[in-house]
Amino acid sequence: MRLNQSPQRFPPAGKVWSRRIAGKEPVCIQLVVEITDAAGQGIGYMEGVYEVNPQVTAVGRRMIWRSVLAVHGIVLLTSMILYPLILHQIRRLTGAVVRLLRSYFEMLTVLSGTIAKRDNDTSEHNFRVTIMAVRLAEAVGIDPAGIRGLFKGALIHEIGKIGEQDAILRKQGSLTETERTEMQKHVIHGAEIVQGSQWLGDGADVVRFHHEKFDGSGYPEGRSGETIPRAARIFCIADVFDALIAWRPYKEPLSLEETLTILRQGRGTHFDPELLDPFLEMAPALYHDFQQASATHLDKAEIESQLVRIACRYFVSPDEAMSF
């Protein structure tokens, strides 16, 4: 075969320089090796081009393929052995996570029910306002982490009333100015309670600030506008809406029209206009879903089911949700 000239490359002493010459078949190797005398001193170089026997090439290729297949086989066999073990461990871990989250969720609902009993209310109110607040949060694009904090804070928003005196909390009739001031401290007590929990801590904004008003006339700090955490501004709307449409032993529920009128009157004073406007759009559907339930208590199971679906959506992965 004809070889093109190439620059000469001389290897270091005791080394061989080699390269494969371009071309598919036959395989040719160019070698350059040092020539030494009896004393081991270099006296020159020898260059040669050798054609590899095609049978030798075929044997080498077969050996390479066999090695590759053997490696793949070992990897596949190892995977077949280890995969069931890994899958079993993942399922055990997933089960543990689901059980832990279920325990957290049960703790939230128990706390919610405890607060309701303390305040002569029902746990359904806490469930309803949580669902409404989450729907509004989704509509205005709150991220999942923010919704998780909103969910926790909404369920136990009145937890601070646990520390209030019965004489004030259960008093029939109007509170005195002193009693009203004392009652307003429940949001501070509640925030202190949830901030003591690593898991509940991101719900503290709702607990502490849900009685603030957009114009600064609320409590406990008289915050206004966007200085009020957004989660608290969202929850405030849902909380007032449910209070208006809900049946209570001391009042009848308001109609949808009466409720919407009151909410609109609070636009820019009590409520954030940018949050109130999308809520007003969904209010008729919320009224239809929850007003009858608040009056009859017949749909408590459905409300709890909706709450569980929200918990699954924001606290567990789709696979974990199957076991929740």
277 vs 28, residue with greater confidence: 277
47 vs 3, residue with greater confidence: 47
Q: pLDDT-derived band of residue 323, with 50, 70 and 90 as boundaries?
A: very low
The tens digit of pLDDT for each residue in 42-51 reads 788 788 877 7
Give me the residue label for tokens 């008003």: 213
The answer to whether residue 75 is domain-embedded is: no
Give one word for 119, left, alpha or beta, with left for phi > 0 and alpha for psi -120 to 50: alpha
The answer to whether residue 88 is domain-embedded is: no
pLDDT of residue 214: 98
The answer to whether 152 and 138 have CB atoms below 8 angstroms apart is no
Span 170-174, average pLDDT: 81
Residues 213, 153 share a domain: yes
266 vs 295, residue with greater confidence: 266
Q: pLDDT-derived band of residue 321, with 50, 70 and 90 as boundaries?
A: very low
The answer to whether 153 and 146 have CB atoms below 8 angstroms apart is no
Residues 137, 21 share a domain: no
The tens digit of pLDDT for each residue in 51-86 reads 777 777 777 778 888 888 888 888 888 878 887 888
135 vs 114, residue with greater confidence: 135
Domain assignment of residue 17, given as a range = 1-52
- pLDDT surpasses 50 at 320: no
Give residue 100's Cα distance to chain centre.
16
Residues 126, 17 share a domain: no
Residues 5, 134 share a domain: no
The tens digit of pLDDT for each residue in 83-127 reads 788 887 877 877 777 787 778 778 888 888 887 777 666 678 899
Please name the amino acid found at residue 252: E
Closest-CA residue to 159 (of 127, 188, 130): 188
Residues 177, 41 share a domain: no
The answer to whether residue 9 is domain-embedded is: yes
Other residues' Cβ atoms within 10 Å of the Cβ of residue 263: 19
My answer on whether omega of the bond before 278 falls inside 30° of 0, hence cis, is: no
Give residue 114's Cα distance to chain centre.
28
CATH number at residue 133: 1.10.3210.10
What is the strand order of the sheet 28-36 is part of?
16-20, 28-36, 42-51
pLDDT of residue 294: 55
pLDDT of residue 137: 98
**Tokens at 101, concatenated:** 């989250």
Q: pLDDT-derived band of residue 216, with 50, 70 and 90 as boundaries?
A: very high
CA distance 141 to 133: 12
The answer to whether residue 219 is domain-embedded is: yes
Residues 48, 180 share a domain: no
Q: What are the phi and psi torsion angles at 286 (to 5°)?
A: -65, -40
Span 175-183, average pLDDT: 91
The answer to whether 98 and 323 have CB atoms below 8 angstroms apart is yes
Residues 176, 41 share a domain: no
The answer to whether 130 and 306 have CB atoms below 8 angstroms apart is no
Please name the residue ranges forming H helices in 176-272: 177-184, 186-195, 204-209, 230-245, 256-265
The tens digit of pLDDT for each residue in 292-305 reads 655 555 467 788 88
Residues 117, 25 share a domain: no
The answer to whether residue 139 is domain-embedded is: yes
- pLDDT surpasses 70 at 317: no
Residues 152, 24 share a domain: no
Span 125-137, average pLDDT: 95
Residues 306, 180 share a domain: yes
The answer to whether residue 87 is domain-embedded is: no
pLDDT of residue 308: 85
Residues 247, 147 share a domain: yes
Is the entire prediction scored with pTM above 0.75?
A: no
Share of the chain above pLDDT 90, in %: 41
pLDDT of residue 271: 98
The answer to whether residue 90 is domain-embedded is: no
Residues 106, 5 share a domain: no
CA distance 99 to 323: 9
- pLDDT surpasses 50 at 1: no
Closest-CA residue to 242 (of 205, 208, 291, 281): 291
Kindly calculate the radius of gyration of the chain based on its CA atoms and give it in whole angstroms. Answer: 38
User: If you average pLDDT over every residue of the chain, what do you get?
Assistant: 84
Overall domain count for the chain: 2
pLDDT of residue 292: 62
Closest-CA residue to 109 (of 321, 303, 322, 314): 303
Give 8's contacts (C-beta < 8 A, 6+ positions apart).
32, 47
CA distance 263 to 56: 90
The answer to whether residue 225 is domain-embedded is: yes
